[in-house]
Amino acid sequence: MVQLENPTYMGKDYPLEANVAGWIIFSIGASQFVLWSVWYIIRNENKKNAFKALFQQNPLWGPKSPRLFQEWKEFKAEKRAQRELQSKEHSLGKKLFWILLGKYD
């Protein structure tokens, strides 16, 4: 199915130390998601709401400039309206297919 092969450069294998160092750096970066999520849940009193908040948008996200923020919100509203029209026209299977391809606006 999937095989992980050691990286090569000009036909020569990278040294084991370089491969191990790469995996360590990757692991440190990937573990940040889990560690900060656990920290956020632990420091909040309502654990259930804290867990839900990890997966919800924050209304403060977006451009800092008021003009750009307004344009961004209008753009999002326009795209949302387009998605609602598409959702009435397409089946769930077709939607998932286009979402996976990154083409579902």
Q: Which residue has the tokens 């790469």?
A: 22
Q: Considering only residues 13 and 97, tell me which one the structure prediction assigns the higher pLDDT.
A: 13
Is the residue at 59 inside a domain? no
Q: Any bridge partners for residue 45, and if so which?
A: none
Is the residue at 61 inside a domain? no
Residues 48 and 75 in one domain: no
Is the residue at 58 inside a domain? no
pTM across the whole model: 0.48
Residues 72 and 94 in one domain: yes
Q: Considering only residues 93 and 31, tell me which one the structure prediction assigns the higher pLDDT.
A: 31
Residues 24 and 45 in one domain: yes
**Structural domains counted in the chain:** 2
Is the pLDDT confidence value at 63 over 60? yes
Is the residue at 60 inside a domain? no
Is the residue at 1 inside a domain? no
Is the pLDDT confidence value at 10 over 80? yes
Q: Which residue has the tokens 């160092």?
A: 21
The residue segments making up the domain with residue 27 are: 8-53
Name every residue whose Cβ is closer than 8 Å to that of residue 41 and which is 6 or more positions away in sequence: 47, 50, 51, 54
Residues 43 and 70 in one domain: no
**pLDDT score, position 89:** 74
**pLDDT score, position 7:** 84
Is the residue at 2 inside a domain? no
**pLDDT score, position 104:** 64
Is the pLDDT confidence value at 105 over 70? no
Residues 35 and 70 in one domain: no
Express as a percent the part of the chain with pLDDT over 70.
Answer: 97
The CA-atom distances, in angstroms, between 96 and each of 9, 83, 84, 100 are: 38, 13, 14, 6
Is the residue at 97 inside a domain? yes
Calculate the CA 96 to chain-centre distance: 17
HEC string for 50-105: HHHHCCCCCCCCCCCCHHHHHHHHHHHHHHHHHHHHHHHHCCHHHHHHHHHHCCCC
User: What token pair was written down for 3?
Assistant: 């095989």
